[in-house]
Amino acid sequence: MSQTASEIRLTRARGRPLEQALRWLFFACAAISVMTTLAVVGVLSVETFYFFQQVPAVDFLFGTRWTPLLEPKSYGILPLLFGTTLIVIGAAIVALPVGLACAIYLSEYAGNRTRDLVKPILEILAGIPTIVYGFFAITFVTPILRTLIPSTEVFNAASAGIVVGIMVLPMVASLCDDALRAVPNALRDGAYSLGATSFEVTAKIVVPASLSGIFAAFVLAISRAIGETMAVTLAAGATPNLTLNPLESIQTMTAYIVQVSLGDTPAGTLSYQTLFAVGAVLFSMTLILNLIANAIMNRYRDVYE
Amino acid sequence: MNVQALRLKKRHRIASAFKLFCLSVTCLAVAILGILILEVTLLGLPWLNFDFLTSFPSRFPEKAGILAGLAGTLWLATLTAAIAIPIGVLAAVYLEEYAKPGRVSTFITINIANLAGVPSIVYGIIGLAIFVRFLGLDRSVLAGAMTMSLLILPVIIIASREAIKAVPSSLRQVAFALGATRWQVTRDHVLPQAMPGILTGVILALSRAIGETAPLIMIGALTYIAFVPEGPMDEFTALPIQIYNWTSRPQQAFHELASAGIIVLLLVLLIMNATAVWIRYRGSKNKFM
Amino acid sequence: MTQATEVLLQASTVSIAYGDQLAVKSVTLPIYQHRITSIIGPSGCGKSTLLRSFNRMNDFIDHVTLTGEISFNDQNIYAPDTDPVAVRLNIGMVFQKPNPFPKTIYDNVAWAPSINGLKDNMDDRVEQALKQAALWDEVKDRLHESALNLSGGQQQRLCIARALAMNPLVLLMDEPCSALDPVSTARIEDLLFELKEKLTIVIVTHNMQQAARVSDFTAFMENGVLIEYGPTETLFTNPENQRTEEYVTGRFG
């Protein structure tokens, strides 16, 4: 069917309502992410606000006793912060050097076949659910630790820290690998042509050139360690304890949140609201760390030429 | 030049030692995976039998089984997929195909990137406050699925955007030039081309959801139930919760049960990841150009 | 003038293959001391591959095989017990695109000596090298600024200074001016005349006029084969081989 020129209409007769509707639908889907952020910030802020009306913020942030569920009640979060910190330190000691060394090996030394073998293995390690790591901590790491150092308690920060480190290790290795591989080969060529060994090129030229990427990886790893829940709930204990001794039982912020929700504390009570207050601190810490890591990667992006 | 020669020897020795060090550390990391799998398999395999897969938890280890957890996880995975996949993929479609680059689009992108880094337990807290309490869904599978959807939505969006971005713009140009609307171009050309990448991302996101425990504990998934959910509003438990429950008991027998549960969980994840790899492989053979 | 002196570096029937692709086919090329030898030829003729084999930089590329012999000071640099690091201490290289380290100007030059344990008199060493590269006057007041702030021509002279810091006997240059503007190119060419008194220079260039201006001896390669080699004046004004004549008169390449 052919039309004469005068019959052809170029304007939209109906404005294509379907297209418009679909566009709004898709926008709504994308906006859900913004709504999620609003929900997170909103819920945590509101509940924490109510909490601070009954417990002064200073007492909460700087108090040294955390017994919100037992008499006499005390709402100082420092023991939980110390507990989380112990885990993070343990995880960092395990994951950061090992992850960086793995990345150096994969990026600077390994051939393609080795990379194709090791990288999937690291991905598998990254995909193992955290509950499995908790199990591993209790059934494998803790018994070994207690054999080596008999004064280690059944629940202790070291086991959990080690295992969280193993969990975070693949992420560190992968991100550091990306950072190292982003260094242009021209730099390596220049260094080798001056008569340097592979150690000198790697340690004194390549790694320094990718330092901000490596640092961002470390910050992200710490953020994940802070947010880790199941391994520490199973292995680190439920005893808020203001200590720096990794062989003792402690409680992290995340483990406390689990404890409250598993227990019988009635909703609406102050003790229950501690859940949100601790959640708010947890969320703030990880958010700040993630923003720092992003800022490092964006603003201080490694410049090579 | 003899001082030079001595120094060279020392420098070479340091270089070899460093390479050996990095290699050993890498082998260590790989070995840890081996140890983990070995331990779990040795402990759990003896308990893995048909009865185990079809029984409910019990105070007596010999009679305990993973049926409730398995059923709950399957319900959860299905519901989460039904909720998160459409929303996530369509959100990615909006951001890649419809949104004009600008402040709104950047703001949403930053939002999603931040959400991807939020600890899973925080999602549990939100799920508790909004889905369980505010919407009154109680400790149902639906509440669990909605919470999990929030958790994996950023991952799905990011992966889908990558897949859609990879579709060559020439494909879109050709379709537009033939007089198609934006939705027609997206539906008939972009999405099919991006589907392998999207599916891979979706499967990986779902496997993350399946392994998560903390958010489910927060919304009240039970640790000891002796029934299979029959509707989305039923109470439920899940594989990881069951594993958690058994692991937290002191008796060795329950630890062995837990490792049997872990084997089941890892097998489910293995099947899902293998499917993702297979899809990625099949998809790469069907490209437009 | 262009008289042959002692042979310092020699390639003897050298063939280099990437996998099964032969890039250099049985080349015999003596490099004379204190002279500038240029290697010219169309793209892909194997000149860069040959150059890189002189300081064992091809070691870093997978599946590269070399047959024949390359000797430096009568020692085979590909012998199994030869240390490539030692080779590179004596034979330096400047690359096509300037590649300074993301460090200060001072640290760029000081790096090679420092990893060799030569930490005394570093300031003098750095100054010497920068003077030899005709860069000292321009940077002496900002030695501790980033090298990346320099212009392209300055960066390349910095790379030359960096290579000179360990006092190598030979300097290999792989199209060192192709990424630079004519003024910078001219400055580096002037530099080469001064350097020739202390060093032996091998320069790969796709710019025939540069070869004619700068070098004492010229080698013309095509398709991996050394077509002709001789004093520059002769090669350009009175080549023996017809292919050479066609190339230098611009009929191809």
Q: For A135-197, give the DSSP string.
A: HHIIIIIHHHHHHHSTT--SS-HHHHHHHHHHHHHHHHHHHHHHHHHTS-HHHHHHHHHTT--
For the cut 90, the answer to whether the pLDDT of residue A223 exceeds it is yes
Separation CA A144–CA A77 (nearest Å): 31
Indicate left, alpha or beta for A15 from its phi (over 0: left) and psi (-120 to 50: alpha).
Answer: left
Q: What is the mean pLDDT of residues A253-266?
A: 87
For the cut 80, the answer to whether the pLDDT of residue A3 exceeds it is no
For the cut 70, the answer to whether the pLDDT of residue A9 exceeds it is no
Take residue B287 and report the two structure tokens written for it.
Answer: 């490209």
Separation CA C48–CA C43 (nearest Å): 10
- Indicate the pLDDT class of residue A12, thresholds 50, 70 and 90: low
For the cut 80, the answer to whether the pLDDT of residue A282 exceeds it is yes
Take residue B71 and report the two structure tokens written for it.
Answer: 């059923």
Pairwise CB contact (< 8 Å): A226 & B119: yes
Separation CA C28–CA B66 (nearest Å): 76
Identify all chain A residues contacting B119, using CB atoms and an 8 Å cutoff: 224, 226-229, 254, 282-283, 286
- Asked if the ipTM is above 0.85, the reply is yes
B4 lies within 8 A of chain C by CB: yes
Opening angle at CA B200, ends B194 and B205, nearest 5: 125
Identify all chain C residues contacting B16, using CB atoms and an 8 Å cutoff: none
Identify all chain A residues contacting C159, using CB atoms and an 8 Å cutoff: 190
Pairwise CB contact (< 8 Å): B243 & A131: yes
Tally C-beta pairs within 8 A across A and B. Answer: 238
Q: Which residue of C has its CA nearest to A200?
A: C115
Q: What is the mean pLDDT of residues A133-158?
A: 92
Give which of A119, A132, A223 to mutate to test B binding, by max B Cβ within 10 Å. Answer: A132
Q: What is the pLDDT of residue B101?
A: 87
Which residues, in sequence order, are CB contacts of C199 under 8 Å at separation 6+?
Answer: C34, C164, C168, C169, C170, C171
Omega before A72 cis (within 30°)? yes
Q: What pLDDT, in 10s, does the model give residues A56-108?
A: 988 899 988 898 888 888 898 999 999 999 999 999 999 999 999 999 999 99
Which residues in chain C come in under a pLDDT of 70?
1-2, 253
Q: What is the pLDDT of residue C31?
A: 95
Which residues, in sequence order, are CB contacts of B277 under 8 Å at separation 6+?
Answer: B200
Separation CA A288–CA C45 (nearest Å): 56
Q: What is the pLDDT of residue A300?
A: 67
For the cut 60, the answer to whether the pLDDT of residue A233 exceeds it is yes
For C102, the closest of A111, A192, A304 (CB atoms) is A304
Give which of A108, A194, A197 to mutate to test C binding, by max C Cβ within 10 Å. Answer: A194
The chains found to touch A (3+ Cβ pairs under 8 angstroms) are B, C
- The number of beta carbons lying within 10 Å of the beta carbon of residue A164 is 31
Query: Model's pTM, two decimal places?
Result: 0.89
Range with the poorest average pLDDT among A245-249, B135-139, B213-217: B135-139
Separation CA C31–CA C29 (nearest Å): 6
B2 lies within 8 A of chain C by CB: no
Separation CA A118–CA A104 (nearest Å): 13
- Indicate the pLDDT class of residue B1, thresholds 50, 70 and 90: very low
Q: What pLDDT, in 10s, does the model give residues C214-226?
A: 999 999 999 999 9
Q: What pLDDT, in 10s, does the model give residues B57-93?
A: 787 877 788 888 899 999 999 999 999 999 999 999 9
Pairwise CB contact (< 8 Å): C111 & A194: yes
Q: What is the pLDDT of residue C88?
A: 94
C75 lies within 8 A of chain B by CB: no
Separation CA B252–CA B43 (nearest Å): 10
Q: What is the pLDDT of residue A298?
A: 81
Identify all chain C residues contacting A184, using CB atoms and an 8 Å cutoff: 99
A187 lies within 8 A of chain C by CB: yes
Q: What is the pLDDT of residue B4?
A: 67
Q: What is the mean pLDDT of residues A255-282?
A: 88
Pairwise CB contact (< 8 Å): A187 & C101: yes
For the cut 70, the answer to whether the pLDDT of residue B231 exceeds it is yes
Give which of B2, B7, B9 to mutate to test C binding, by max C Cβ within 10 Å. Answer: B7
